[in-house]
Amino acid sequence: MTSAWFTSNLGDAMLAGEALTGLEALFGSTYGDPGEHGKAAIFIRHESEGRLHCEVKAYFTPEAAAVANAVAADPCAQPSRDGLSLLAGSSSAWLAYFPDRDD
C-alpha cells in the first residue's frame, strides 16, 4: 500500500458538479460499502489561490489510490484539514487522518 495522497483539480466550482458526481460513482463502484474501507475517502476543497473564481480540488487518501489512479490524479502531501469536506467514503477517515478535527 502506498502512503502518498493524490489530488485532482476538477476545475471551476460552478462547473464541477458532473465531475463530483462521477467521482462519487466511481468510488462507490470501486469500494462498495464505505464502512468496509474505513480509510479510503475522497475529500474536496474549494480553492482560489488568489484568483477571482475558485476551483474544486479533490484529495484522495492513500487507501483510495485505485480511484485516484483511474482519474490520473497526481501524488501530493496530505492536505490541511482547513476547508475540507468529505465527498466519498466513511466518516471514520476524518478520525484516521485528522484526529484533532473540531466537530
Question: What mean pLDDT comes out for the span 32-36?
Answer: 66
Is 103 a domain residue? Answer: no
Range of the domain at 56: 5-97
Q: How many domains does the chain have?
A: 1
Confidence at residue 52, expressed as pLDDT on a 0 to 100 scale: 64
Task: Of 84, 66, 71, give the one whose Cα is nearest residue 30.
Answer: 66
Banded pLDDT at 60 (limits 50, 70, 90): very high
pTM: 0.87
Is 102 a domain residue? Answer: no
Q: Cα separations (Å) of 14 from 11, 43, 72, 85?
A: 9, 18, 22, 17
Is 21 a domain residue? Answer: yes
Please report, as a single letter, which amino acid is at residue 58. Answer: A
The answer, yes or no, to whether residue 1 has pLDDT greater than 50, is no
